[in-house]
A and B are shown apart, each in its own frame.
Chain A
Amino acid sequence: MLLVEEVTKNFGKFTALKKINIEFHNGVYGLLAPNGAGKTTLIKMLTTLLFPTSGTIRYEGHDIIKMDDKYRELIGYLPQEFGYYKNYSPTAYLLYLAALKGIDRKTAVARVKELLKIVALDHVATKKMKKFSGGMIQRVGIAQAMLNDPRILILDEPTAGLDPKERVRFRNLLTNLARDRIVILSTHIVSDVESIANEIIMIKNQEVLYKDTVINICRKIDGLVYETEVDYGDTEKFRSTYLTLSEKQETGKMHMRFLTTEDAKPEWKTVHPNLEDVFLYIYQDEVPSAGDDFDD
């Protein structure tokens, strides 16, 4: 069990995360929050790249900072910015990282081969990464995180750059892996985690807002989500009155999905809320600002 206790992280005067408490057991955890919410900050603390300003993180009761290499041995990490050597082949690079992870050479060679197959890069195993596409690089990153068969797999926006087919493969892979380990992945793409995460963690205003199953989280706005059809001419007015969640054109009318606490009108059809609805609802008043795009 990985336990985050009262963790606060300040960057100078700026507070990125405030009194965070989270318990991780085996399974997939989706860290879902918009840009700049502090996902990477939390993940970097879980990987010992950042030190909490206050609070502790424990694995099986031991402070991960005191555990030192004993802890790092247990983790696999894909950073948001995956660093690679463009003149290396995936095989050479993974072998280098295996050396850093203290995996002996013979084991590493076999493992690298196996992993490159899993991420479907075996056909370019010895090609220089210079010419790889973004998605291929990302897959090298995913492979590298699994080199040491980690107890805790931490992935910061792992699906960035993957095509739909690879996304599906990746999700299946994670579901398999999560049976006997902790998998934490951050994303702001709801569909990445909706189907596979055992629990979703949502961060708002530097604090954990929800940590629950998808179903339970969706229940928070049960009965508030509707669908209806609106004339084209009225869409502007509709949008400004209700929180529209999605819209699409349909046979001369506009099909709107929206959320409101007002009493339902007869032409509205109540629907089951999904995670995306919750996301849009929770973060509706967050105006994207320049600062949000600032990573590390």
Chain B
Amino acid sequence: MRLLFEELKKLFTVKTIILLLLVSIIIYQMFIVFDFKHFPNGRPVLDEFLATQKMLEDYGESMDEDEFEDFKSIYDQRINEATQYLQSQDDMVAAGLDSYTKFKSIDLENEKLAALHNKVYHEDYVDVFWEIPAREDMIERYEHPERYIQQYGQINEKQKARIEELMKNGAATAIFSYQVFENYNTLIKNVAILIFLSIMLVILPLYIGDRRNHAVFLQYTSKVGRTLFTKKLLAGLIASFIVITVQLVCFFFLYKGNDISMFLPLTLHSIYNAFISWYDITFLQYILLTVVSIYLIGLALVLVTACISSIAPNYMTSVGLHVPLAFILFGVGTTYLVQNLTTLYLFKYLLPVLLAAILSLSFILFWWKYKREKWKDIT
């Protein structure tokens, strides 16, 4: 215990902590804050999100035929409101735009009319005019559930069967928001990158430090001896667990600000979402899946980074060896292991198979290194 604590202390030096903070702040500023600030991003996306929220409040998890009628009546109401607005505007009436129908069929070639059109949308930002196309789109999607299937283009029998099963089980009436899903997907990828980078920074000096400054001579000739090698790994694992947890807690704390808690218990499978999973999961379960995946990749990463740290002759080489690793991990790694998990596009068992493969490979790598370390000449 004492040793573990001592090794942990060496991993979390003041310098390392400051470095971690700096890197986190930079990555948040460059890649993450944007998706918080601009969620939902623009219009009518925002209007669609608000309409979906209202939908959830009014109808619950799904929208049946009757509720859809109600949804449409709200749409009609909004059209009336738009018309009323137009009639209250002298310039609109003067231009002959005294109803929403007329306004909608404006000839945008006509400069004068185009200017008025622009005024409503981009100068006065009249909400109802943004809300109408959003709702229109939602109505259309409800009325044409087959588009849910069509968006997948070329699919094989199994994929087709999966979609049909989902349609039968209520995807056609289930409520969800693709923006919420997309937003989370983008965020979690960048957060995962930040987490993996943090792990690398923390674990990088694990062995190389004591080897470079010759403390290893004292360590390996003391009672604990070469078993310190595994103790250090354990310290590295604990350190990474702490790093992952702290990063995730910070992230989800900020994510709470997106105000999407009502989406958590919903199934992902809805005509209002573009993502299809092989498994019947809710949004919350999906989030947990990404979290589990991040922890597992983190574990594998510690093993690999530890190996590099024990092999590399100096810090430069170590950093050099991490570059391709980071390249793969931050690129395809996060794309397949953190984003769009269990997507219908890919092999059904891809995630568990990939994770198992990565974990066992890194375990084998570390085991090999550990065996060698035991009988190595320490020069």
Contacts and interface: CB of A to CB of B under 8 A. Distances in A.
Interface in A73-132: 73, 75, 77, 79, 81-85, 87, 96-97, 99-102, 105
B3 interface: yes
Nearest to A47: B221
A48 B220 contact: yes
A186 interface: no
Contacts of A82: 214, 218
Interface in A154-188: none
B253 interface: no
Interface residues of B, number: 24
A49 interface: yes
Contact of A83 (B3, B217, B377): B217
A79 B110 CA distance: 89
A191 B216 CA distance: 30
Nearest to B377: A50
B77 interface: no
A236 interface: no
B228 interface: yes
Nearest to B222: A100
A87 B217 contact: no
Contacts of A296: 379
Interface string B10-29: 10010000000000000000
A72 B213 contact: no
Judged by DSSP, the binding face of B is: helix
Contact of A49 (B215, B220, B224): B220
B216 A83 contact: yes
Instruction: Please classify how large the interface on chain A is, using the bins under 10, 10 to 19, 20 to 34, 35 or more.
Output: 20 to 34
Contacts of B214: 79, 81-83
Contacts of B379: 44, 49-50, 296
A69 B220 CA distance: 10
Q: Which of B6, B210, B217, B379 has the most CB of A within 10 A?
A: B217
A72 B210 contact: no
B127 to A, nearest CB: 59
B225 interface: yes
Contacts of B349: none
Interface string B342-379: 00000000000000000000000000000000010111
A51 B219 CA distance: 16
B122 interface: no
Interface in B217-254: 217-225, 228
A97 B3 CA distance: 10
A50 B378 contact: yes
A68 interface: yes
Given A81-B214, A99-B6, A72 B221 contact: yes
A79 B217 contact: yes
A97 B377 CA distance: 21
Contacts of A244: none
Contact of B13 (A87, A102, A105): A87
A77 B224 contact: no
Contacts, number: 75
B2 interface: yes
A191 to B, nearest CB: 26
A145 to B, nearest CB: 9
B223 A85 contact: no
Given A77-B218, A83-B210, A83-B213, A69 B377 contact: no
A8 interface: no
Nearest to A154: B221
A100 B217 contact: no
A69 B223 contact: yes
Contacts of B3: 99-100
A50 B213 CA distance: 18
Interface in B199-220: 210, 213-220
A102 B221 contact: no
Nearest to B375: A51
A50 B214 CA distance: 15
Nearest to A102: B223
B378 A69 contact: no
A198 interface: no
A144 B6 CA distance: 17
Given A81-B217, A97-B218, A99-B3, A49 B223 contact: no
A49 B213 CA distance: 16
A99 B216 CA distance: 14
Nearest to B4: A99
Given A99-B6, A101-B223, A79 B375 contact: no
B223 A77 contact: no
B223 A100 contact: yes
Interface in B267-291: none
A130 to B, nearest CB: 13
A87 B377 CA distance: 28
A69 B218 contact: no
A283 B179 CA distance: 82
Contacts of B222: 72, 97, 100-102
Contacts of B375: 51
B223 A72 contact: yes
Contacts of A105: 2
Interface in B1-54: 2-3, 6, 10, 13
B307 to A, nearest CB: 21
Contacts of A49: 217, 220-221, 377-379
B213 A69 contact: no
Given A81-B217, A82-B214, A100-B224, A51 B6 contact: no
Given A79-B217, A100-B218, 8 more contacts: A44-B377, A49-B220, A50-B377, A69-B223, A72-B222, A100-B223, A100-B228, A144-B218
The 4 closest A-B pairs by CB, nearest first: A83-B214, A83-B215, A100-B222, A296-B379
26 contacts: A44-B377, A44-B378, A44-B379, A47-B217, A50-B378, A51-B377, A69-B225, A72-B221, A75-B221, A77-B217, A77-B218, A79-B217, A81-B214, A81-B217, A82-B214, A83-B215, A83-B218, A84-B215, A87-B13, A97-B218, A99-B2, A100-B218, A100-B223, A100-B224, A102-B222, A296-B379
